[in-house]
Structure 1
Amino acid sequence: MTNTPGSATLIGSVQRAMRLLESVAGHEHGAPAKQLARENGLALPTAYHLLRTLVHEGYLRRDKGRFFLGEAAERLSSSGAQEKRRGTVADTLAHWRDALGVPVYYAMYRDGEIEVMCVSDTPANPAVEEWADFRATGHAHAIGQCLLAQVDEATRRDHLRRHPVWPLTPYTVCNDHALLRRLDRMQRMEVVIERQEYALGTVCAAIPITLGNTAATLAISLPAHQADRLMAAAQQLQGEIGQHLGSLAISISI
């Protein structure tokens, strides 16, 4: 497609503006317009015009004659870093998924809710279908039970007040008191096993993770007819968590 003279001029202006942004990013303590114009081979009036436009749009800010990155540019940078962090967590889960041959889940208890941050599965080993909201059914699945076991009693009771116990299957814990007794009996860092309490035909295991003051967990699931594999796979995963804990910890800031 052939560019019209107007579109070519616009593209050139965008290119020059991007180069100015890159130049400003390379100056930790800012840079004056004359220096930026010289570094980019621009006439000073052209550089001034582009710099004023970038300041107006929030991509740059001017302070005492020097230009710095503005809030809009910093938001772009933050967004890119966020995507990179998500990718690191996803890669870590994919490694375990392939090594163990099971779906792997990573979840946290944050702001009073159960949040499944990432799931890694394959067509041959699919994740459990979320047929009932994971956040509202923490009493019934290994992820929720593992997270609730890590928080204090007041937090547990508040959670159950907002998300009451109800039977999803014939195997689901029957009431709040039974669930609280089960959680109280759990040992610190104990693997939590759940058999068909959330979904018939599925068994799950969740491993508690300590990330500062944040309750987190890694979990796996298997079809019920492969239940004999569950504990061995969970223990293998538990043994490897320490090597990759850093990549999971960064997800707290996501």
Structure 2
Amino acid sequence: MGSVQRAMRLLESVAEHEHGAPAKQLARETGLALPTAYHLLRTLSHEGYLRRDKGLFFLGEAAERLSGSAARQKRRSTIVEALAHWRDSIGAPVYYAMYRGGEIEISCVSDTPGNPAVQEWADFRETAHAHAIGQCLLSQLGEDARRDHLDRYPVRAITPYTVRDEDALLRRLERTGRMAPVVERQEYALGAVCAAIPITVGSTAATIALSLPAQQADRLLPATRQLQDEIGRLLGSLAISISI
């Protein structure tokens, strides 16, 4: 445990020196004997946590991977906390999804036993045309990317309310507008109505969505407006969390 603590102190000290630092300086800053510092620096370099260049030590690829993982976890925590807040304030399940690598990804869902999320009874990736999340993401894509997706996952009716063909879907998406909310009523799941709000950061299409039981359909538009307002207030933190 003592060796681990000393190694961590060295890593922290190296991280503070963007342009690198020599062993003697690192030993002095960490309060380690020079032979101990040399031994730990060699070990950390061998394992890839540090790299040595012209007598100076820098963070290595292994340490940078750890840093990247921690940053991703922090970004995910931001989204999880935001979704839980909106879930409780609106009284509805809230979803976060992205379009990445040509596929729909439901990255996070926040619900409760009293307000459960819509169950994935038909593959979300293959039925983007039928649910608000998918329609919202498709509406943010360019024409070529949108047609590529629909070539791979053709439009098909999965409930009596699902859009009937690709032409009808494309007309709907064009009318919706690239950054306008999307609403669907029982097109993916009977007994559920949903809305999705688009978020775009750089080239990533994303959405925050909510669902309600069909008997609460009169709440859908007010709840969507409330969610839009909530997202607007937290957009800064969401912007750096988009890639979880």
TM range (shorter): over 0.9
CA pair 68-141 structure 1, distance change in 2 beyond 3 A: same
Identity percentage over the alignment?
A: 77
1:40, 1:217 → 2: CA distance? 46
The answer to whether the 8 A contact 1:210-1:216 is kept is yes
My pick for the range that moved more, 31-40 or 100-109, is 31-40
Task: Check if 1:62 corresponds to 2:52.
Answer: yes
Unaligned runs of 5+ in 2: none
Q: How far apart are 1:188 and its partner, in Å?
A: 4.6
Q: What residue is the counterpart of 1:186 in the other structure?
A: 176
Alpha-carbon distance, 1:111 to partner: 2.5
| Rg (Cα) greater in structure | 1
1:29 to 2:19 alignment: yes
8 Å Cα contact 2:141-2:205 kept in structure 1: yes
Q: How far is the alpha carbon of 1:204 from its aligned partner? A: 0.5
Query: Residue 90 in 1 paired to residue 80 in 2?
Result: yes
The list of structure 1 runs, each at least 4 consecutive aligned residues, that deviate by more than 4 angstroms after superposition, is: none
Q: Is the 2:206–2:242 contact (alpha carbons within 8 Å) kept by the matching residues of 1?
A: no
Q: Which moved more, 1:238-247 or 1:139-148?
A: 238-247
User: What CA RMSD, in Å, does the superposition of the two structures yield over aligned residues?
Assistant: 1.7
TM-score after normalising by structure 2: 0.92
Residue 19 of structure 1: aligned partner: 9
The corresponding residue for 1:229 is 219
Aligned equivalents of 1:133 and 1:49: distance in 2? 54
Contact preservation (8 Å) 1:92, 1:247: no
2:162 — aligned with what?
172
Query: Aligned residue for 1:46?
Result: 36
The residue type paired with residue 172 of structure 1 is T
In the other structure, the counterpart of 1:133 is 123
Q: Are the aligned partners of 2:78 and 2:241 in contact in 1 as well (CA < 8 Å)?
A: no
Closer/same/farther in 2, CA of residues 58 and 100 from structure 1, 3 Å limit = same
Cα distance change of structure 1 residues 61 and 244 upon mapping to structure 2, 3 Å threshold: same
| Alpha-carbon distance, 1:114 to partner | 1.6
1:143 maps to 2:133: yes
* Aligned equivalent of 1:5: none
Offset of 1:163 from its aligned partner? 0.7
Alignment-derived partner of residue 240 in structure 2:
250
SS at match of 1:238: helix
The answer to whether 1:100 aligns with 2:126 is: no
Q: Which runs of 5+ in 1 are unaligned?
A: 1-10
TM-score when scaled to structure 1? Answer: 0.89
DSSP 3-state at the match of 1:31: coil
Question: Alignment length, in residue pairs?
Answer: 244
Q: Residues 30-85 of structure 1, C-alpha deviation per residue, up to 9 Å, x if partnerless?
A: 22212222333333222211111111001111111121111111111111111001
SS in 1 for 2:52: strand
Separation in 1, partners of 2:31, 2:183: 65
- The 3 A distance-change label for structure 1 pair 238 and 131 is same
